[in-house]
Homo-oligomer: A and B are copies of this chain.
Amino acid sequence: MFPESDSKDLFLEAFGDLRKSVDAGFDPADIDALYFGNFTNDFFVEQSHWGAILSDALGLVPAPATRTEGACASSGLAFREACFAIASGFYDVVLVGGVEDMSKRSTAEVSEGLALAAIPYELDAGFNFPGVFGAIASAYFDTYGATREHLINVTIKSHENASRNPLAQLSKSVRQMMESKARRAAERGQQLPEWSDEREFLRDETANPVVASPLHLFDCCPISDGAACLLLVADEIAGRFTEHPLHVAGIGQGSGRGLQAAEELTSFEATRAAAEEAYQMAGLGPGDIDFAEVHDCFSIAELIHIEDLGFFEAGHGHLATADGLTGRQGSMPINTSGGLKCKGHPVGATGAAQLVEVWQQLRQQAGDRQLPGNDLCIGLAHNLGGTGGTSSVTILRRGE
């Protein structure tokens, strides 16, 4: 949380990090256009038209700046537009990112504001986001025989990954959180249950209260401030910026109807369409992907996404997770950044932040959370907007 920073400050900081991370450096004057995602600034900070503000702050004027909005998938969409702008031959160097500035509002206001991303029928039925995903979790449990224990597996993994990410908003493992809670209680002379392990901690409703049954606090991502950006350049000139470029192998985007019209609650048609488009463009299938960042706004969402993306069969996501296949050492590491759950979910920046994680992993620059092995080649990022209304899927591939 950055209560003293506005969206301009946040984006400038991310831009500073980007400039440092581009091997050969670059100058704002090299940038032909800016695309960025943002969802809530109109109503949370009461300022729209950030294209004008950001292009001025970054020193890009009179280069064009375009905001895309697809709720929580806003910067996944921005990345895709940047790809089109370059693939069309119109531009060579495009800055793409996202920003969100949410901490100036109360949790109640944020909850109400984010509900603007839902489909009206859902709101009319009394659903907010935890409510929708709670219903989805119930349907998943019912259909596939999963239980809360399977959600707990996701939570423990996310926190474990985030404990290796210095930029994570929640950077402690569940065990560390349990221990510090016990320590603080002891210091105050409070009586607390003695949790034998982190699972028992998460099962305890005083430590992990219910939010929207069967989802508890640790199943939900936090409210976040943040920004992320990347530099996308035409293939022919990538060598000017680095000897080790990544390639955009596939991009896909889809839309979906609200829950009231969905054929099933345990799958998102927007994700399936986006994945199909991206795989087809890349000439790849799910089995070719080495690791992925997926849109785990809630723990149940991760289980569904890894099925919709084809990494595991429908109804097998919770089993694969229980078997450790989605962990750092597994065959399909998911959300090595800590995911939305722990890295944080600055809504309009999330799609870009996922791509930054994929970028760092593929370039072996992920520090303590670097996946083992030197043969990482293909990573995927999956961004979801609303209650499945919009999804984008991007596949990045390491150059030869």
Asked if A39 CB lies within 8 Å of chain B CBs, one says yes
Check if A386 sits within 8 Å of B269, measured CB to CB.
no
Known contacts A84-B85, A87-B89, A89-B87; is A62 also within 8 Å of B256 by CB? yes
Q: How large is the interface on A (under 10, 10 to 19, 20 to 34, 35 or more residues)?
A: 35 or more
Chain B residues near A290 (CB-CB < 8 A): none
Check if A84 sits within 8 Å of B77, measured CB to CB.
no
Check if A81 sits within 8 Å of B62, measured CB to CB.
no
**Whole-angstrom distance between the alpha carbons of A53 and B116 in the complex?**
12
The residues of A with any CB-CB pair to B shorter than 8 Å are 33, 39, 42-43, 46-49, 51-53, 55-56, 60-71, 77, 80-81, 83-85, 87-90, 116-120, 253-258, 261, 269-270, 272-274, 281, 385-386, 389-390, 392
Check if B117 sits within 8 Å of A255, measured CB to CB.
no
| Integer count of this chain's copies in the complex | 2
Check if A390 sits within 8 Å of B65, measured CB to CB.
yes
Q: A255 touches which one: B46, B55, B85, B390 (CB < 8 A)?
A: B55
| Interface of chain A, main secondary structure | mixed
What 15 new A-B contacts, CB under 8 Å, besides A61-B270, A64-B274, A84-B84? A47-B120, A49-B70, A49-B386, A49-B390, A51-B69, A52-B256, A56-B261, A60-B255, A62-B256, A62-B270, A62-B272, A66-B77, A67-B70, A87-B89, A88-B88
**Whole-angstrom distance between the alpha carbons of A14 and B250 in the complex?**
33
Most B CB within 10 A of own CB, among A51, A65, A88, A119 = A51
Check if A49 sits within 8 Å of B272, measured CB to CB.
no
Chain B residues near A281 (CB-CB < 8 A): 90
